Amino acid sequence: MRQVDVIVPVYNVEKYLKRCLESLLSQTLSSEKYRVLLVDDGSTDGSTAICQKYADENPNLVEYLPKANGGLSDARNYGLQHVDASYVLFIDSDDYVESGMLERMLEKTCNGQKKVVECNFFWQYQDKLTKDVVTGYDSIEDYLVKGRVVAWNKLYRTDWLKQCGVAFPKGLFYEDQCFFFELMPFLESIDEVAVDEVCEVHYVQRNDSISYQNTSRLADLFKIYVRILNFHEEKGWIKTYHDELEYRFVRNLLGNVMLRKIRPIKDGKVKRDLVVKVMEFIDIHFKGWKKNKYIKWDSPQNIYLKTFNKLILKMLIN
């Protein structure tokens, strides 16, 4: 039985795809132990030809899976239907990985005992490289508060993942947040998670970054958060992990969304409307967020949250 299936969703990434595939085909792990699943999500550029070429030249290592366009979540879910290896890994087609990644991460599985193996990674900018590093987590609660919510830096044990029944949300952005916060509470203990402290993935930062000028992106984030809260309610987890979800969601909305996405918008009316929507969402779902126990931590993000008031809100709008 193969040890790893690597799912690579592909959509109009001809500029980056070869670098990604070469990094996966150059692994130190024996080629009999892994397979690369190229899920072509209806590409309209040269990506399709690249996928076919690599599959033709590496028939025992690369499988080409074309499908109609359905978005990133749909492509990942489609790839999961074709997985039969012990573990599965998602890699985005514009990123690339270190040559020893699969071998090192498999070593951390302790012969299949670990359900999740997470690796560190590089933020790959055009002119610099920065590391994103953790050494481990103390509990499932700690993982929900501090864990990197991206899907592509983790090995998932296939039988456990399929038993949980968690899938990526089709048609919505922020699919990684949904996947992380719905899946990880299925862990019985943090001992089921291992960390590969090597930076294995180069997370490529592209210039075509998302802007909240398109307000539908913010609407998707709200939908994702409501979906996660409802999922936890259905599973009976909401009381157990309410503080962790509230802290992560409010910190993201008031920090990343407000400061990095909304504040730079030049259209004053658009900016004010988005700020109002964020504050209304928080007031409906997290009215008592300022009493959250995690805000007591001393960190730059928490200083901002502790002091968040009408004056700061006014400065954000103007």
Q: In a structure prediction context, what are the per-residue pLDDT tens digits for the chain, which is 318 residues long?
A: 799 999 999 999 999 999 999 999 999 999 999 999 999 999 999 999 999 999 999 999 999 999 999 999 999 999 999 999 999 999 999 999 999 999 999 999 999 999 999 999 999 999 999 999 999 999 999 999 999 999 999 999 999 999 999 999 999 999 999 999 999 999 999 999 999 999 999 999 987 544 444 566 899 999 999 999 999 999 999 999 999 999 999 999 998 898 888 888 888 888 889 999 999 999 999 999 999 999 876 666 677 676 676 556 665 666
Cβ-Cβ contacts under 8 Å for 80 (sequence gap 6 or more)? 7, 88, 161, 162, 167
Query: By the 8 A CB rule, do 155 and 203 touch?
Result: no
What is the structure's pLDDT at 317?
A: 60
Q: How many CA atoms lie within 13 A of 307 on its CB side?
A: 8
What is the structure's pLDDT at 220?
A: 96
Amino acid 233 reads E
Domain coordinates of the chain in residue numbers? 4-204, 216-317
Q: How buried is residue 287: exposed, middle or buried, by Cβ count under 10 Å (0-12/13-18/19+)?
A: exposed
What is the structure's pLDDT at 12?
A: 97
What is the structure's pLDDT at 209?
A: 43
What is the structure's pLDDT at 179?
A: 99
Could you name the CATH architecture of 4-204?
Alpha-Beta Complex (3.90)
pTM greater than 0.85: yes
Query: By the 8 A CB rule, do 196 and 104 touch?
Result: yes
